[in-house]
Structure 1
Amino acid sequence: MGFLGRTLAVLLVLYGLVFVVADLALLHADAPLWVGFAFAVAFIGLQYVAAPWLIERVFSIDFSADAMPAAQREFIESLCKQRGIPVPRMGVIYSGTPNAFAFGRLRRDARIVVTEGLLKICSEEEANAVLAHELGHIAHYDFAVMTLGALAPLLLYQVYVWTRSVSNLRIVSYAAYVSYWVGQFLVMFLSRTREYGADHFSAEVTRTPSALSSALMKIAYGMVKERSEALEAKADKGASKDTKKDAERSLQLGTQLGLMGISAASGGEALMLATNADEAARVMRWDLVNPWAKVYELNSTHPLTALRLKALNKEAVKLGQEPAYPLPEDARKVNWVGFPIEFVVWALPYALGFLLLSYAWVGRKLPLDLPEKTLPLMVIALGATWAVRIAYRYHGSFKAAKVQDLLEDVTVSQMRPRAVQIEGEVIGNGVPGAFWSPDLVLQDDSGMMYLLYRSSVPLGRLFFAMTSVNRLIGNRVTVQGWYRRGLKPYVEMARVEAKVVKNSGSGMITLFGKREDGSEAPVEYETLVERSYSRWIQTAAAGACVAGGVIWLLNVV
């Protein structure tokens, strides 16, 4: 781990230790709940005050007068004058990862930072649109708003800590803990709302919403591309130590910029499958039409790029302009048909497991008069609904398909798969350059697709990566599996077959493909077939759950 990674890790640990130890000290001293609240407020306040100072010391930011290009500096100064906003300090991070972010406490001490990678890939108009977005965060006091938002879950956590050891308040403690996690998702929703607000501000002040659209596309694509190149450099055995250190530094910096910047890394992998605006619109169409996209977005601090482009397209139309990334007419409304059933089938096992754990944690100590058969019946129901969920996710006969046809299918999801057979060349790892990645990228004559190897056996994915992945890369394969769509499209492999090189001949073969006597070893080919048994293992586990519940029920009766 490099300097940046070590610094951030140490800071996180220190913050965690201070909060936990201080909480324990207050509890040990029998401090009232209001003291816990006051401590949480003071803790968040300290973070709010110290955050800019910490950010400047963690990131190497050049705030010199000539760091920011003159065109962008003049644009910000002019815009601040028009809006009556104090001109923020402007800095540059010399990183190839394209991104930008703003930080500070109030308007008067705000900073705007862009990376060198963003300035290289964006036109002047696009760079100005990004800067206007960051100025929007400053104009809307988003630093203070997000700090207040983050305080609420922390206060709920204090209620949980202060009441969990009080027997007659155990239900209150449980409710506070659940609310704490709900609050975390609400904070992320608030963050996405502020991002939309900053996008609107940029479109309003620049009157070029399409410039921000194209910048967001370049940033999302560029972040994944930079990460891929860094991983490949890090994995290159012939690379120098300095090159590997630079690659590691780039990976760490890219991760942190993704958390703070105008665009997050999540979802960018899908755009890597597109090579032009039309293909990008096709790839993103699923995000706009399928309800599951909204479910996946719940765990993100940034809106999905497709949804941001949709909002910016509306801004462009209002201004009488042509959108940079026009989306299909049929991608303007979410198709809810079938989603309720899929969601229920997906959620029921989780809901039953949650209820069982809740009873084990809280219910046993409450004056609940449950029938004796309730718990074993719930265990049976858990196994049964789990089995139904597996059957729902793995069904259908494998039919030949092209990648382009799959990318245009907006009906698929994690729960509604499409059983397919595709053929093409494996062109690399799902995580480029990572020897431990069992996932692959396949290309046929119509496009590229991610291949995912799922294993329900401990270390199963690592074993597949170590034994088969390198033999598949560079060869044509036939893959049978289930096409699914999450934040990125992929085929979950059930079976993969390929003709791969086999060293043969008499005598020992060395690592260099030669016999012990130094002569060249003859090259032969063999058929490599790999299968995933994940669905059968999951089904067996669900069956064991039902059997366990039945045995329990018989003992109760």
Structure 2
Amino acid sequence: MQSPLDPKSNLIVRSTTRGVEVDLCPTTEGIWLDKGELFLLAKKPRLLQLAFEKHYRKKDGQGLASPRTATPMVIRELDGIVEFHECPDTGGLWFNQEQWATLQAWTPLLDYQLVEQEPETYVPDESSYQRLPSLWLRTALIFGFLNLFLFLPIWLIQEYLDMNVALGSALSIALVISLFSFIISPWILDLTLSWLYKTQKHAFAHLPDHLQKFIDQTTKTQGIKTPTIHLILDGSPQAFTYGHTPGNARIVLSTGLIKLLSEKELEAVVAHEIGHAVHWDIAFMSCAQVYPTLFYHLYQISRSKKSDSDSKSARISALIYVIYLISEYIVLALSRVRELHADRFAAKVQRNPHYLSSALVKIGYGLIHGERDETEDENKKTSKHFEALSIMGINSGGSLMLPPKDDTSAPDKEGLQEVMKWDLWNPWSSWYELQSTHPLIAKRLRYLGEQSRSMGQAPYITFPHNKPESYWDEFLVDITIHLLPLIAFIGLPFAHIIQHALVLTSGYGFDSFHTIFAALELHGDQTFGLGLIGLGIGLFIRSLFLYPQRKFMDMSIASLLKKIKVSAMRPVPCVIKGTIIGKGNPGSYFSDDFYIQDKTGMIYLDHRTPLSIMEFFFGLTKSKKYIGKEVTIIGWYRRAPVPYVEIKSLTCDDNSLEPVQTSVWVWSLVLPIGIFLFGAYTFLFGL
């Protein structure tokens, strides 16, 4: 974005101690704040907003050009305090250096402190040309770990439970299940695409000429059969592959992807999908899934052991179950490695990682401003719910909701860095990636940057490594609140037992433990009742944290995306205004979620109801009516890892449709009270 006072200078992004990114002019030291961002910098956002609204006044005359839209801003003032410029389209605010200093002196509520960080530039050196780590070796090591885990549960069962494990039977069951899934999955996906989505099958001849030639040339070079091409007739960018072997691979593209990307970028995406086929990734993942299936059956075998030492059997079973869980995470790690390998394949085929990097960014950007087929009423956008089909898809692991300069320009590199800092710095990003089949896009771009360096090229984008602060304090609080119901469910009965034991210890002495525990006379109803009381308290506190009811502030989408200290557990209450531009799930008749777009960007809207069947009927009968409507959304902005707003209420500005009110947040408070009361009754009177 260009500086309003110095058009030759671009605004630079700086981090603050509040976890908010701001845009500064390096020459004039003016500051640009997107709508609502001023209040995110406050110690007490609600109080600052009230003071701001009390003194806010309009003035006549045009102001400077808006950094966001390049259109003239209007002059505003805080009555008798300070003048500033406001963008009428986006609600963003511009303060020059003197105005910003005056505002800070006026209110002690502002907590504006910049974090010192050194800018990164790319300087080629000898280390830039080093060999990249072998992803095949990494794949082999992961399979080695899986095989190591294979023998551990068998040894535990035979050594400590005196059982002769029918390994052949367990392995046969695991192989049959995995083989059946491997064989039938592509056919299920074929049927799903035919029945639930508007598609054009066997559409190779309908691809652009350059793409047909690229596919023919690449498959011929790699010695594989030309894959079957299916098209999803939808404006949102989408790409994935499935099948059994390179000989019967299917690649699915959306018409929106073809419209959004340049020729080279589109070829990069298709090369990525061909890479999955060339590397036999689908078969690889099917083989890897045998291990968790086998471990689960070994866990079932260990549970069937009846012996005099039930506690020993339980411990061994629990350990094998932990091994099973670890194997699931190892398989997910393998999937992420195969995804990176497909990225590397695409960059190698094109001899330039920039094309795939740019495509990844544009796919995220296209989720906001991708070209749409205006002849279709059902304009839908890519959804996180479509990830069930994106087993090897390029569009997964998160979307880059980038604030654009205008409706047609490409996202700038600084804006990209701004949004992706959450992926690189917030500990929650690693938490979500650990449970995902795909790396976060930010990390994929970083790996592609390493490949660029190995090829003697500058990376498409660089990321600052000097993190301005630690975000682990907020993460640990979030995790504690997330686990609080479980902690309270276990901890309260345990504390009750300890309290009784301490009381009895004072009477019997520490050498009489058998007498003490015999005298505890713990009743199951009381213990269970205390557990329910703890569970109710924990759930209630967590709900208060998840659904804060403090003032919902007017925000722009761009200002929300700059917030780093945000997660699914730590939301930002907000009000956003914009246009519903499509359903959440591309091509689905049943999607109840939406995408909303304002002047600064686009974001996913999550519509939740207490029962899934209610979401189904809302998507089937009502959701389509809201597409194209100007609306006001009250809700909670979250990131997990995709940015989204959970709807509290949706109101059409023209009142043409009935408002949508959600009640999940209400039930999240009511149900814990019910659990608490039932637990109290059980504790006092028994079941």
Deviation, structure 1 residue 191: 0.6
Secondary structure of 2:602 counterpart: strand
Change in Cα spacing, 1:545 to 1:128, as seen in structure 2 (3 Å) is same
Change in Cα spacing, 1:104 to 1:542, as seen in structure 2 (3 Å) is closer
2:239 equivalent among 77, 96, 99: 99
| Conserved 8 A contact 2:580-2:629 | yes
**Whole-angstrom CA distance in 2 between matches of 1:306 and 1:480:** 29
TM-score between the two structures when normalised by the length of structure 1: 0.66
Structure of larger gyration radius? 2
**Whole-angstrom CA distance in 1 between matches of 2:490 and 2:428:** 21
Who is 2:82 aligned against?
Answer: none
Structure 1's unaligned 5+ residue stretches are 1-29, 81-86, 237-246, 357-367, 503-525
Who is 2:136 aligned against?
Answer: none
**Whole-angstrom CA distance in 1 between matches of 2:178 and 2:533:** 49
| Conserved 8 A contact 1:228-1:433 | no
**Whole-angstrom CA distance in 1 between matches of 2:490 and 2:401:** 32
Who is 1:4 aligned against?
Answer: none
1:267 equivalent among 394, 398, 401: 398
Tell me the matched-pair count.
Answer: 466
1:403 equivalent among 544, 557, 562: 557
**Whole-angstrom CA distance in 1 between matches of 2:557 and 2:683:** 49
1:157 equivalent among 292, 296, 301: 296
Who is 1:551 aligned against?
Answer: 681
Secondary structure of 1:424 counterpart: strand
Q: Does 1:315 align with 2:451?
A: yes
Who is 1:485 aligned against?
Answer: 639
Who is 1:449 aligned against?
Answer: 603
What do the CA deviations read for 1:371-427 (whole angstroms, capped 9, x no partner)?
545433322221111111111112232222222111211211111111222333444
Q: Does 1:196 align with 2:196?
A: no
**Whole-angstrom CA distance in 2 between matches of 1:161 and 1:229:** 52
Q: Does 1:146 align with 2:278?
A: no
Within 5 A, what are the aligned runs for 1:55-66?
none
Q: Does 1:423 align with 2:569?
A: no
The structure richer in helix per residue is 1
| Conserved 8 A contact 2:339-2:392 | no
**Whole-angstrom CA distance in 1 between matches of 2:685 and 2:616:** 41
What do the CA deviations read for 1:101-151 (whole angstroms, capped 9, x no partner)?
48666xxx7676645767776656446645665676577665664344212
Within 5 A, what are the aligned runs for 1:52-91?
69-75=212-218, 87-91=223-227
What do the CA deviations read for 1:343-387 (whole angstroms, capped 9, x no partner)?
12112325667999xxxxxxxxxxx99954543332222111111
Secondary structure of 1:413 counterpart: coil
Who is 1:511 aligned against?
Answer: none
| Conserved 8 A contact 1:76-1:132 | no
Residue type of the partner of 1:336? W
**Whole-angstrom CA distance in 1 between matches of 2:283 and 2:621:** 51
Who is 1:36 aligned against?
Answer: 169
| Conserved 8 A contact 2:423-2:440 | yes
User: Which range is displaced more, 224-233 or 190-199?
Assistant: 224-233
Secondary structure of 1:348 counterpart: helix
User: Which range is displaced more, 375-384 or 95-104?
Assistant: 95-104
Change in Cα spacing, 1:434 to 1:323, as seen in structure 2 (3 Å) is same
**Whole-angstrom CA distance in 2 between matches of 1:147 and 1:268:** 27
2:356 equivalent among 200, 205, 212: 212
**Whole-angstrom CA distance in 2 between matches of 1:458 and 1:71:** 44
| Conserved 8 A contact 1:72-1:124 | no
Residue type of the partner of 2:450? K
**Whole-angstrom CA distance in 2 between matches of 1:386 and 1:147:** 38
| Conserved 8 A contact 2:546-2:571 | yes
Within 5 A, what are the aligned runs for 1:128-139?
129-130=268-269, 133=272
Who is 2:568 aligned against?
Answer: 414
What do the CA deviations read for 1:461-519 (whole angstroms, capped 9, x no partner)?
467668975675555444332222224322223344445457xxxxxxxxxxxxxxxxx
Who is 1:534 aligned against?
Answer: 664
CA RMSD in angstroms, aligned pairs only: 5.0
**Whole-angstrom CA distance in 2 between matches of 1:469 and 1:281:** 34
Change in Cα spacing, 1:379 to 1:115, as seen in structure 2 (3 Å) is closer
Who is 1:300 aligned against?
Answer: 436
Secondary structure of 2:327 counterpart: helix
| Conserved 8 A contact 2:260-2:370 | no
Change in Cα spacing, 1:155 to 1:116, as seen in structure 2 (3 Å) is closer
| Conserved 8 A contact 1:103-1:112 | yes
Who is 1:342 aligned against?
Answer: 478
Change in Cα spacing, 1:40 to 1:410, as seen in structure 2 (3 Å) is same
Change in Cα spacing, 1:497 to 1:553, as seen in structure 2 (3 Å) is same
What do the CA deviations read for 1:175-216 (whole angstroms, capped 9, x no partner)?
545543443333122111222233335445654111221233
Identity %: 30
Who is 1:185 aligned against?
Answer: 329
| Conserved 8 A contact 1:208-1:316 | yes
| Conserved 8 A contact 1:88-1:111 | no
| Conserved 8 A contact 2:424-2:443 | yes
User: Which range is displaced more, 417-426 or 320-329?
Assistant: 320-329
TM-score between the two structures when normalised by the length of structure 2: 0.55
Secondary structure of 2:570 counterpart: coil
1:258 equivalent among 390, 398, 414: 390
| Conserved 8 A contact 1:72-1:127 | no
Who is 1:439 aligned against?
Answer: 593
Who is 1:391 aligned against?
Answer: 544
| Conserved 8 A contact 1:40-1:151 | no
| Conserved 8 A contact 1:68-1:92 | no
**Whole-angstrom CA distance in 2 between matches of 1:452 and 1:54:** 30
**Whole-angstrom CA distance in 2 between matches of 1:466 and 1:329:** 46
Deviation, structure 1 residue 90: 2.8
Who is 1:377 aligned against?
Answer: 530
Structure with bigger RCO (C-alpha 8 Å, 6+ apart): 2
| Conserved 8 A contact 1:152-1:183 | yes
